[in-house]
Chain A
């Protein structure tokens, strides 16, 4: 059936006509790496196309769209993981391909062009990874890119121009992403695919390079002996890749890029050898980072020129093979040293754990609340009443939290300003939870407990409660309370809008958003505590109007909240 299908295509297109292609010395697993790379290229293209259908290359949206794929789109984590780790697989298989062809002497005449193209493709693969890593716009990708571009900017004479062209102007932003995105999904794929086409065309022209021992063995048809080995190698590669991806639950994603936050920037693992070399080079780091890749590329390109004898027997190529293997071993060794020294660094481990927590938190918030259109970093501000709670934490807690050792004012907690709170206050204004910790409580100016009949007391509470604007205030009790107020309280207080009390706060709108807004702005106002009776500082100069309003809104919310409600808001 397969033969029939192939014949159908052959008759109509000419593909597969002529002599069946053979393989010198017979099929071998040594020859699978090139086609496994083609398979990985197709895998990257397929998963990349799906990811491009979700990705948004803008500095405000990039991280959010990646987090959406990772945590919310069905199988997004798998596709993204295959794409990310597929890049790593390409680097590994390309390394093996280089090693195999180098060892077999496949760089020799007439295959020099194939070899040189391979070296160029290797460099382009690494560039492909660099341009992809920044797109996630998380701390890891952002800082790795800053370091990489920083190294490139160290190029003599044209360094700053390289940087400006790469990041699209003077600083990181939207143009950085659109440029790297264009390179990653258009320029490099087209270029690499074209060069791979030429590389394969040349490889087919010259055929595989057998070992010296098998050189005399008869040639065998490629199909199906070599084809099956290639298919099995692809399947094994994919199985390993899929297993690793599933085990890691896709690829990592750190917190959104934050130019203000310290981050232990590390390059992708295939640049670790350069990273380690840079550390070893000390003050020569920039030169090492720029020169080392040039030395490696120069040696690889020079191999066919340095070793021109027609013999491919390893015994006749000891110096060049020694240098070749030594160079690859050095790169592998530096990579291992870099990774293990990081793994053994306890302090780094702690910092990385903190950073990972921050990333997890950002992603959980993105799932729960979405990411503000102002940018990925603002996801941290999306917990309910975040700004007000953060301000309260910083500016109010010291004097107003029940747990504070330095409390100087009344406790502000859930239920603040509700009927029970007002009733408790009237019964004991200088009670511990109320004004007990203030200087005012220790003076004669302190308010005396209100001692009325229970009915009158309750009516007074209702009057004060209704000032908050609460919808459940009872109007009849409030009206009775007003009569009591006029009789018992107006010696000191006022309830007329804008009229200061004789010696105590005006209670108009007490506990409403407007009241809190005004009180927090200037507690020493004649309408509030007055200049001599309050230790609380003015906040009208320190907080913006919006911040003060948020605090006021939070205080209003606290009136009807319970401790469980506060817990339900989640951590800041």
Chain B
């Protein structure tokens, strides 16, 4: 039983078409599903001001104080978690009515910035970027000063808006 070349050619083509078609139909939803998180805000942190406690906790003058920023509720894909530490801010009260907040995230590559007690300036432990007490860049690889965070006092309590910025750019852009 020998088929004519035409018929065999058609059968070969049909086999590949059916097989390939099934493969594509299986792959399409799988790829769509795997790519789904890339287009979504999967971790939702509060955009409202976050309470950092009493203003009285921050003394006027002196060294900056590091305060943890604790979000009351963070939605992370399927989880809704309470009291999640988002990061930290350095707070400086220059006069009784004036308070400033600087993000502890280094604008260079995102390490946590510390306060150098002896030199009285900020230092990033990863690549030795230094910043003045006001957050201005002094030395090291950082292309900009420390990122200020909006802070206000309401009914005697500190209210801070948590923001994250793009790393390693001269201009400050929200991430």
> Which of A150-158, A183-191, A219-227 lies at the interface with chain B?
A219-227
Given A75-B29, A224-B8, A224-B12, are A53 and B78 also a contact pair (CB < 8 Å)?
no
Q: How far is the CB of B73 from chain A (nearest CB, A)?
A: 8
Are A75 and B78 interface neighbours, CB within 8 A? no
Q: How far is the CB of B38 from chain A (nearest CB, A)?
A: 11
Q: How far is the CB of A207 from chain B (nearest CB, A)?
A: 18
Q: How far is the CB of A201 from chain B (nearest CB, A)?
A: 22
CB neighbours (8 Å) of B175 from chain A are none
The yes or no answer to B86 lying at the interface (CB within 8 A) is: no
Given A68-B78, A235-B18, are A53 and B34 also a contact pair (CB < 8 Å)?
yes
Q: How far is the CA of A50 from the CA of B77 in the complex (A)?
A: 16
CB neighbours (8 Å) of A464 from chain B are none
The yes or no answer to B15 lying at the interface (CB within 8 A) is: yes
Query: Which of chain B's residues 21-80 have a Cβ closer than 8 Å to chain A?
Result: 21-22, 25-27, 29-30, 32-34, 36-37, 75, 77-80
- In this complex, the interface size class of chain B, counting residues with CB under 8 Å from chain A, is 20 to 34
The yes or no answer to B117 lying at the interface (CB within 8 A) is: no
Are B33 and A231 interface neighbours, CB within 8 A? no
**Which of B11, B29, B77, B80 is the one whose CB lies under 8 Å from A228?**
B11
Are A231 and B27 interface neighbours, CB within 8 A? no
Query: Which of chain A's residues 45-84 have a Cβ closer than 8 Å to chain B?
Result: 46-47, 49-50, 53-54, 56, 61, 64-65, 67-69, 72-76, 78-79, 82
Counted as pairs of residues, one from A and one from B, with CB atoms less than 8 Å apart, the total is 99
Query: Which of chain A's residues 470-527 have a Cβ closer than 8 Å to chain B?
Result: none
CB neighbours (8 Å) of B29 from chain A are 75, 78-79, 82
The yes or no answer to B85 lying at the interface (CB within 8 A) is: no
Given A231-B22, A234-B22, are A46 and B79 also a contact pair (CB < 8 Å)?
no
> Which of A106-114, A172-180, A367-375, A429-437 lies at the interface with chain B?
A367-375
CB neighbours (8 Å) of A227 from chain B are 15
Are A224 and B11 interface neighbours, CB within 8 A? yes
A contacts with B, residue count (CB < 8 A): 47
Q: How far is the CB of A29 from chain B (nearest CB, A)?
A: 14
**Which of A69, A79, A370 is the one whose CB lies under 8 Å from B75?**
A370
Q: How far is the CA of A56 from the CA of B79 in the complex (A)?
A: 11
**Which of B8, B12, B15, B22 is the one whose CB lies under 8 Å from A238?**
B22
The yes or no answer to B126 lying at the interface (CB within 8 A) is: no
Q: How far is the CB of B5 from chain A (nearest CB, A)?
A: 10
Q: How far is the CA of A373 from the CA of B34 in the complex (A)?
A: 23
CB neighbours (8 Å) of B32 from chain A are 74-75
CB neighbours (8 Å) of A306 from chain B are none
B1-17 vs A, Cβ < 8 Å mask (1 yes, 0 no): 10000001001111110
Given A74-B32, A78-B29, A79-B30, are A65 and B19 also a contact pair (CB < 8 Å)?
no
The yes or no answer to A366 lying at the interface (CB within 8 A) is: yes
Are B36 and A225 interface neighbours, CB within 8 A? no
Most chain A Cβ neighbours within 10 Å, of B19, B22, B36, B82: B22
The yes or no answer to A19 lying at the interface (CB within 8 A) is: no
The yes or no answer to A15 lying at the interface (CB within 8 A) is: no
The yes or no answer to A232 lying at the interface (CB within 8 A) is: yes
A19-55 vs B, Cβ < 8 Å mask (1 yes, 0 no): 0000000100000000000010011001101100110
Q: How far is the CB of A260 from chain B (nearest CB, A)?
A: 22
The yes or no answer to A2 lying at the interface (CB within 8 A) is: yes
The yes or no answer to B170 lying at the interface (CB within 8 A) is: no
Are B26 and A238 interface neighbours, CB within 8 A? yes
Are A224 and B34 interface neighbours, CB within 8 A? no
The yes or no answer to A3 lying at the interface (CB within 8 A) is: yes
Are B22 and A39 interface neighbours, CB within 8 A? yes
Query: Which of chain A's residues 318-346 have a Cβ closer than 8 Å to chain B?
Result: none
CB neighbours (8 Å) of A69 from chain B are 33
Are A235 and B33 interface neighbours, CB within 8 A? no
Residue of B with least CB distance to A83? B30
Are B33 and A73 interface neighbours, CB within 8 A? yes
Residue of B with least CB distance to A72? B78
Residue of B with least CB distance to A242? B25
Residue of A with least CB distance to B23? A42
Q: How far is the CA of A26 from the CA of B26 in the complex (A)?
A: 30
Are A65 and B77 interface neighbours, CB within 8 A? yes
CB neighbours (8 Å) of B15 from chain A are 223-224, 227-228, 231
Given A73-B33, A220-B1, A224-B12, are A43 and B26 also a contact pair (CB < 8 Å)?
yes
**Which of B11, B12, B80 is the one whose CB lies under 8 Å from A372?**
B80
The yes or no answer to A382 lying at the interface (CB within 8 A) is: yes
A222-257 vs B, Cβ < 8 Å mask (1 yes, 0 no): 011101100110110010001000000000000000
Are A234 and B18 interface neighbours, CB within 8 A? yes
CB neighbours (8 Å) of A39 from chain B are 22
Query: Which of chain B's residues 65-110 have a Cβ closer than 8 Å to chain A?
Result: 75, 77-82
Are A76 and B36 interface neighbours, CB within 8 A? yes
Are B33 and A67 interface neighbours, CB within 8 A? no
Are B80 and A382 interface neighbours, CB within 8 A? yes
**26 A–B pairs (Cβ distance < 8 Å), ordered by A:** A2-B16, A3-B12, A26-B1, A47-B26, A49-B30, A53-B34, A64-B78, A68-B77, A73-B36, A74-B32, A75-B29, A75-B32, A75-B33, A76-B33, A76-B36, A78-B33, A223-B12, A224-B15, A234-B18, A235-B21, A238-B26, A369-B80, A370-B78, A372-B80, A373-B81, A382-B80
Please provide the 4 A-B residue pairs with the shortest distance between their CB atoms, ordered closest to farther.
A370-B80, A68-B78, A64-B78, A231-B18
Binding site for A on B (CB under 8 A): 1, 8, 11-16, 18-19, 21-22, 25-27, 29-30, 32-34, 36-37, 75, 77-82
